[in-house]
Amino acid sequence: MLALLGCDAYNETEPSIEQIRALQTRGYFERTIEPLRIRIDRGERDSEVLLLYGVALTRARLYSRALWPLKEAARDPEHFVPAMMQLASSAYATGNHDLAIEILSEVLDREPEHFAALRMRTFARLHSRRDYEGALEDAERAIELNPESMTMLAPRIVALFGLKRVEEAKEALEEFAELPPDPEAADSEMTDPIHALACVARAKLAEEEDDLELAAERYDGCVERFPSQAIAVHEAMEFYGTDQGGKGERFDEILKAAYDAAPDDRSFRIAYARRQELLGNLDEAKRVLEEASAVGLPGAKIDLAGFLNSTGDVEGALEVYREAAAQGASGGAFLLAFGEALISAGRLDEALAVADETGPDSHRAFIRGRVALKRMEYDKALDDLTQGVLLWPDNAVARYYTALAAEGVGDFDRAIEEYRTSLRIDANAADSRTRLARLHLAEGEPRAVLYILNYQTQKRESLRATDELALLELEALAWTGQAEKLPPELEARLARPQLWGAAVAALAKGVRRRDGAEGAVAVIKNADRLNLRSPGAAPALRELIRDLAELGKASEGIEYARS
């Protein structure tokens, strides 16, 4: 056995598979990496060897290197479930909850009563905060399979709160509080997540009862006790990011503490990098993503490439995608992101070649549709994208591009429906809100515009996030005669000097719809702080000239243009 503990004796005394298993059972995972690698390098591709190698790499936090052996091991029906569960655990541990859900769903397709898979998928769905219904179904199914276990009660409570079934959640929380400690949970690797969920449930109860001071106190307690538990961190950040919680500094403190506590967690890393990008700290955002990419964390290269692409470094993004591909990255999500970057760079033929490599038909159809859209082949784009959304109905971005294609062929009813669906799925995934508002304005439906601009999903996303949305809202309010008293947030955004000319123009357009050209002219001529000679007033000047021409006063409009 001493031969297993050093590095010099492998050629003389090679450990047997039984000895390797024994070492892993005792927790010596890293010591098994080299002997397993030697076996694989000489061509020994037995599925058990691959599984043990993947497990060892995962426990050593070498996640990217673990992907290939675990995927290969999963090809053997005998080792499919343990290999896939290891892949799911890696994805879950590093905050890649969507990937964990995808893998666990494959496991449950084969073994519908796999308790550990149901439990982990419940937690992953809660962490994603997009599928409370699915989380509740998984939790209740797990409770049905193992009614003696109390580990799924807290997840069920949080799912009920997420679905706004407050009375049921309160009743379940009271029952949970009265239960004795669960000895099974005490030895479970899910102990901290369960306790974090129970903590969050109590905070949510205070929030639902409008006791915001108590809610803040409880959320603070949750993140102090569980700084690396995603459910505690994300729920606390969501609370402090709302109008009720409303403390931006506390939001940033919680996010930074979470990232520092668990830099390997992909959800924290992405959230922190995006926050730094939003605050203008691009170097810090890039540093965080580059460090994760350098150590091979799952998804890190895709995240870095996405950041580079979004900040205009398309060539840098493509270089990172190609590095990832050379290192064995594959799968639909990677190829889809790679294809999108190629489309952004105008390399459409190369993007089509990537489409041919993708596994899921939905991804292949999506890339082909995007290429056709870029080439303004709207009929083909709509056909391909329609096929994509049939196979991928809950993807907000796919719905958005389908709507663009529908606009291209003049099918505005279809476009409106697709934009609405995109907005319901994820209001921040694309500019569906803006384009839908424009279509409703063009159709003469200002009240529909106001509804869309103020629509919020369960995520309670920030409204009026762009100047264009604010201008559209002002135009619709003026059209419906509601512009006398604006919401404070809207008024503050529109009053900025750089936007004032466009704001006066939007107000005039809305008034024109309601009171005609004379009313619009009066708005512009009487506007405070508007110097029609300044470049910033150009939008208002254009509207004034147009309205004067409509009133038969073209010469006056020409004078304004010359001045």
SS3 for 114-132 is CHHHHHHHHHHHHHHCCCH
Contacts of 9 (CB under 8 A, 6+ apart): 2, 3
16 touches 43 (CB < 8 A): no
* Top-confidence range, 41-45, 83-87, 94-98, 455-459: 83-87
Whether 474 and 483 have beta carbons less than 8 Å apart is answered as: yes
**496 falls within a domain:** yes
Residue 552 lies in a domain: yes
Q: How far is CA 266 from CA 259, 322, 372, in A?
A: 9, 21, 33
- How much is the pLDDT for 11? 45
pLDDT score recorded for residue 235:
86
Nearest 5°: the CA angle 65, 69, 71 is: 110
How many angstroms separate the Cα of 121 from the Cα of each of 102, 116, 118, 180?
A: 9, 8, 5, 25
Instruction: Give the Å distances, CA to CA, from 50 to 15, 37, 94, 294, 299.
Output: 15, 9, 22, 24, 22
- pLDDT score, position 447: 93
Evaluate whether residue 520 is within a structural domain: yes
Q: What is d(CA 11, CA 472) in angstroms, rounded to the nearest whole number?
A: 73
What residues have CB less than 8 Å from 19, skipping those under 6 apart? 1, 4
User: pLDDT tens digit string along 82-130?
Assistant: 999 999 988 888 778 888 899 999 999 999 999 999 999 999 998 887 8
pLDDT in tens, 409-422: 999 999 999 999 99
What whole-number distance in Å separates Cα of residue 21 and Cα of residue 414? 58
Q: Report the run of H or E that residue 157 belongs to, with start and end.
A: helix 153-162
Residue 517 lies in a domain: yes
Across residues 306-320, what is the average pLDDT?
89
Counting Cα atoms < 13 Å in the Cβ hemisphere of 202 gives 16
pLDDT in the model for residue 198: 79
pLDDT of 448 > 80? The answer is yes
pLDDT per position as a tens digit, 328-373: 676 667 788 888 899 988 999 999 998 887 666 778 899 999 999 9
11 contacts: CB under 8 Å, gap ≥ 6? none
Predicted pLDDT of residue 327: 72
What angle (nearest 5°) sits at the alpha carbon of residue 277, between those of residues 271 and 278? 90
For residue 458, give the nearest of 424, 435, 417 by alpha carbon. Answer: 424
Cβ contact 389:398 at 8 Å: yes
What is the domain count for the chain?
1
Whole-angstrom distance, CA of residue 465 vs CA of residue 31: 52
Domain-embedded: residue 519:
yes
DSSP sequence for 323-361: HHHHTT--HHHHHHHHHHHHHHTT-HHHHHHHHHH-SSH
Orientation of helix 432-442 relative to helix 412-425, angle to 10°: 150
Q: How confident is the model at residue 166 (pLDDT cuts 50, 70, 90)?
A: confident
For residue 186, the model assigns a pLDDT of 44
Checking if the pLDDT of 187 tops 70, the result is no
**206 inside domain:** no
At residue 256, does pLDDT exceed 50? Answer: yes
CA distance to 196, 213, 230, 247, 291, per residue, from 254 (Å): 15, 17, 11, 11, 21
Supply the range of the domain harboring residue 531: 489-562
How far is 463 from 496, CA to CA, in rounded Å? 18
528: in domain:
yes
Count the residues in the chain: 563
Instruction: Give CA–CA dist 199/183, Å, rounded.
Output: 19
Question: How deeply is 294 buried, as exposed, middle or buried, from its count of CB atoms within 10 A (0-12, 13-18, 19+)?
Answer: exposed
**Residue 458 confidence (pLDDT):** 46
- Asked if the structure places residue 514 within a domain, the reply is yes
Q: How confident is the model at residue 10, as a pLDDT?
A: 41
- Is residue 454 scored above 70 in pLDDT? yes
Mean pLDDT of the chain: 85
Under 8 Å between Cβ of 222 and 238: no
Rounded CA separation 329/416 (Å): 37
Helices 300-310, 314-326: inter-axial angle, 10-degree rounding: 160
Binned at pLDDT 50, 70 and 90, residue 460 comes out as very low
